Structure 1
Amino acid sequence: MNRVRKETNSNKKIWILIFVVVSVFCLIFFAARGRYQFPLSERIVMTTLAPFQGLMSTVNNEIRYVTSSVWEIATVYEQNKMLKSEVEQLRALNLQSNELASENERLRTMLAYKQASTQFDLVIATVIARDSVTWTNTIMINRGTNDGLKKDMAVITSQGLVGNVVEAFSSSAKVELILDPRSAVGTIVQRPESRVAGIVQGNKDDKMMARMVNIPRDADVIEGDQIVTSGFGGVYPKGLAVGIVDRIDNDEGGLLKYAILKPAVDFQKLEEVAVIINSREALPAPLAPVVPEQAAIESDSAAGDTK
């Protein structure tokens, strides 16, 4: 009996399984052909899955938003880095362009002065160093004996006198400025009714100014007078601008006075200079010291001739 019951139950399960399989097949078949709909099933599924779909949609949108934001931030960051790099490059190019334009303008001015000064043979040089201790005393230039420079050659700009070469090397030279207290430049007042001579040296009290010394107390020198080289001594050609009288003071002794000069050259902005390697102007003969005995003889001779 137990065996019969087990067989009967097994047969029922088989038939039920067959019925389910056939039913599913039919449902799939008719659904595929569009002859059967599942309105109730679809509603149940949609109702059950709707919250999950909404949540997944929200999560998906948030992920897309975050990803998009991160990508945009990274893109903007990279673009910002590129723009900053381009700005720095443009600034450097602009600075270099301005510096080249400034140098070109200075060299044009110097070249125009060189072409106009036909009485001189000039060598254009660049200032490459200045003495850190005595800033206003000496400079180094990038021309030397290979370019024809020698000791005691005058150094100028288009504005006026700079100084003279004190040491010449193969490819460089040392220049003593007129602001050096050790310098001595023979000068004269350019004003026709004055023509007072004197010596220009550096001013110890004001390193950016110069002094014209050995001026007689009653000499005709006034503020605003233009001071130029006298040509005596054989180093500096005559007529080079040295400076303008700023003020006049009396010497301690009381017999002489001196003039404080504002130099014609702006030594703070000195970058290019010209060296006079040859001058076609005839320099005045240097003054020879007069011996007292010779002076007396010449005076008697002149008196006899007058007679």
Structure 2
Amino acid sequence: MPSLFRRKRLMIVLLGFIVLVTLIGFSIRDRDSLSTPEKFLQDSVGWMQTIFHKPVSFVDTTVENVQDMFNVYEQNQVLKTRLSEYKGVIQENQRLNKEVDELQDTLGKSEGLSDYSSIQATVIARSSDRWFEQMTINKGEEDGVEKDMAVMTSDGLVGKVKSAGAFHSTVLLLSGFDRSNKISSWVVREDKEEAFGLIEGYDDESGRLLLEGIKLDEELEPGDTVISSGLGGVFPSNLRIGTVEEVVNDQYGLTKTAYVEPFADLFDINHVMVVDRSVETIDTSSEAEGDES
């Protein structure tokens, strides 16, 4: 019995193998059409692939979209950062262009002061509690700066050296002047002689200098130019100070006081010239006459 059982199982295995080989051979041969079972099997596999492909494709697309969103966000952050950098570069370029223009104007004005020795300097600090009164420059006694020297920009006079250190100096601005700091001045008028006066203070309310001690018979007009006279022994002559805007009688009615608008912007100063009047002017014409004689 056991041997018969084995023979039956062997026969079944052999028949199954023959059927399998036959089916394989039938399926791999060239045919123009598929059998009904093959069609059913192909369609079933296709449906299963379609069912599984859609969620997989949806998940894959969603993941790609999320990654793209993160990439766009990162790129947007990079672009914002670069845009901020570009704005900073533009502002820095504008600031540098302004400084270049100021330096060129200052150098051009320095050439005009041929009778004086001028020292180029840069403002490095302004006191927070005395912003409108004084500032610090990067030149001192080692550079030839001394106390009471005039300080100006390319536009006009801004003040004088209050104190000089070895390498830095403190400048007292015109807006910090009082009666103890005077500037001997001329008022230049058309078709008239110059009128004399003294810059003796600063009016905080109007932001103008006070030119006092003007004779009552002197007729000043708005727009007249005020320059240093050089008579006070501290400031050189012909330094531009400002223009007359208003003239009033003093409280005693003995002299006139003129309100003068400074040529220079006292609140926006970056580069200055320290003017030394100790340099003597050489009269070349006199020298030429001496040589001829």
Q: Look up the SS of the partner of 2:234 in the other structure.
A: coil
Residue in structure 2 matched with residue 190 of structure 1 by the alignment: 188
1:110-145 deviation digits (Å, cap 9, x = unpaired): 111112321121111111222323332222111101
Residue in structure 2 matched with residue 241 of structure 1 by the alignment: 240
Q: 1:36 to 1:67 in 2, by over 3 A?
A: same
Q: 1:20 to 1:158 in 2, by over 3 A?
A: closer
CA contact (8 A) 1:198 1:212 kept: yes
User: Distance in 2 between the 1:264 and 1:279 partners?
Assistant: 25
C-alpha displacement at 1:207, in angstroms?
6.2
How many residue pairs get aligned? The number is 278
- Compute the TM-score of the two structures, normalised by the length of structure 2: 0.85
Of all paired residues, the percent bearing the same amino acid is: 28
User: Distance in 1 between the 2:212 and 2:31 partners?
Assistant: 127
What runs of 5+ residues in structure 1 fail to find an aligned partner?
Answer: 283-307
Bigger radius of gyration among the two? 1
> Highest relative contact order (Cα 8 Å, sep 6+), 1 or 2?
2
Residue in structure 2 matched with residue 206 of structure 1 by the alignment: 205
Q: What root-mean-square deviation, in Å, do the aligned CA atoms of Structure 1 and Structure 2 show? A: 2.4
User: Distance in 2 between the 1:244 and 1:108 partners?
Assistant: 24
Q: Look up the SS of the partner of 1:245 in the other structure.
A: strand
CA contact (8 A) 1:194 1:221 kept: no
1:212-251 deviation digits (Å, cap 9, x = unpaired): 1112333332322211111112111112111111111222
C-alpha displacement at 1:59, in angstroms?
2.0
Residue in structure 1 matched with residue 24 of structure 2 by the alignment: 28
User: Distance in 2 between the 1:17 and 1:64 partners?
Assistant: 46
Residue in structure 2 matched with residue 127 of structure 1 by the alignment: 123
- Compute the TM-score of the two structures, normalised by the length of structure 1: 0.82
Q: Look up the SS of the partner of 2:176 in the other structure.
A: coil
1:28-85 deviation digits (Å, cap 9, x = unpaired): 2444455898612212213433432211221232133223212322332232222222
- In the TM superposition, 1:70-109 aligns within 5 A as 70-109=66-105
Residue in structure 1 matched with residue 290 of structure 2 by the alignment: none
1:242-275 deviation digits (Å, cap 9, x = unpaired): 1111111222212222111111211122211101
User: Distance in 2 between the 1:185 and 1:38 partners?
Assistant: 115
What runs of 5+ residues in structure 2 fail to find an aligned partner?
Answer: 283-293
Q: 1:42 to 1:157 in 2, by over 3 A?
A: same
CA contact (8 A) 2:159 2:173 kept: yes
Is 1:41 paired with 2:37? Answer: yes
CA contact (8 A) 2:160 2:171 kept: yes
Q: Look up the SS of the partner of 2:200 in the other structure.
A: strand
CA contact (8 A) 1:159 1:264 kept: yes
User: Distance in 2 between the 1:20 and 1:211 partners?
Assistant: 124
